[in-house]
Structure 1
Amino acid sequence: MKKLTRTHLVILAAGGSLALLLGAFLFQVLGYPPCKMCFWQRWPHAAAILIGAAYMGLRARVLIWLGALAAAVTSGIGAYHAGVEYKWWEGPTSCTGGSNALSGLTGSDLLPGSATKAIVMCDEVSWQLLGLSMASYNFIFSALLVVVWVMAARKDA
């Protein structure tokens, strides 16, 4: 069996972020619109993909650590979002069912036929499997990607 190289691990980690990001877009296409916090989780995955691509050209170890940081950030956001969904703690008032849930909206925003898009609440689980929400899965899989990035960074060239 061929030994995994640093490059293989970077490809695996960046590819994992690509897979999670594509999965998020697939769920969106299937009718599960993302909330504000879902979008927050996507940006670090995009950064990890770009960092992985940059590593392929530059071979700088610091990029691998930046990839690990990006995966850790999205994992942390996923953990926070899951906690908001399961009501373990409060989330941002701009996308949760708190008392200020309608702050920032005008009267015309609330009228039928207004141009305002439907607000997707961050504290409601729109899909789950085995009792875990999409945010929970992002937390878990992204934490695993952190491990892969760190393995790559610690690997001898």
Structure 2
Amino acid sequence: MKSLPLARAIALLTPLALLGGAYAFQYIGGLPPCEMCWWQRYPHFAAVPLALIAYALKGKPCWSALFAGLAGLAIGISGLIGLFHAGVEYHWWQGLTACSTSGGGSSADILNQIMASPLTRCDAAPWSLFGISIAGYNGLLSGAAALAILALLLRWRKA
């Protein structure tokens, strides 16, 4: 059956495409990420090496399926974070508040870093298409990909 190779492909291509899109919005579109945007990227960062390991283990189908499934789980987690973030943007619920600095130094240095940082709010969607924000698209696409990977792995297991 071709379901395992397809699951591996989705597990690798989804996080690469969504991270590529996120970085395009950031560096080409000039939309710096908020804290919750970064939270959505971390599981995709984890999914890429897991999917690569799944490819490296093509000769051992059970192990390959395990790592493709772990990549799918990471993608699904990103999707859940994306849906939560979209809910914050639509003001369906309140988000978590966070303030972070990138370095140490004196109080004046930290204050200068904060003042020089672009203000990016988690509760305001900087871009949307058809009323769906970037976080919403991540939630929908990552969720669909995670479900597809799970379905393909279940089909592979039954075969």
Shared fold, TM over 0.5: yes
Instruction: Give a deviation string over 1:103-150, Cα, whole Å, max 9, x none.
Output: xxx78877xxx3321231100110000001000000000011112211
Hey, which of these two has a bigger chunk of helix by percent?
Answer: 2
Paired position in structure 1 for 2:73:
69
Matching residue's letter, 2:22: A
Calculate the TM-score normalised by the size of structure 2. Answer: 0.80
Query: What is aligned with 1:115?
Result: 113
Larger mean CA deviation between 30-39 and 4-13 belongs to: 4-13
1:64–1:13 CA distance, 2 compared to 1 (3 A): closer
Q: Check conservation: 1:10, 1:152, Cα contact below 8 A.
A: no
Q: By how many angstroms is 1:73 displaced?
A: 0.5
Partner of 1:99: none
Q: Tell me the residue number matched to 2:155.
A: 155
Identity of aligned residues (%): 36
Residue number in structure 2 paired with 1:45: 44
The CA RMSD over aligned residues, in Å, is: 2.0
Instruction: Name the amino acid aligned to 2:9.
Output: I
CA contact (8 A) 1:54 1:63 kept: yes
Q: How many residues align?
A: 142
Q: Which moved more, 1:11-20 or 1:26-35?
A: 11-20
CA distance 1:53–1:150, shift in 2 (3 Å): same
Distance in 2 (alpha carbons) for counterparts of 1:56 and 1:107: 49
Is this contact kept in 1: 2:33–2:120, CA < 8 A?
Answer: yes
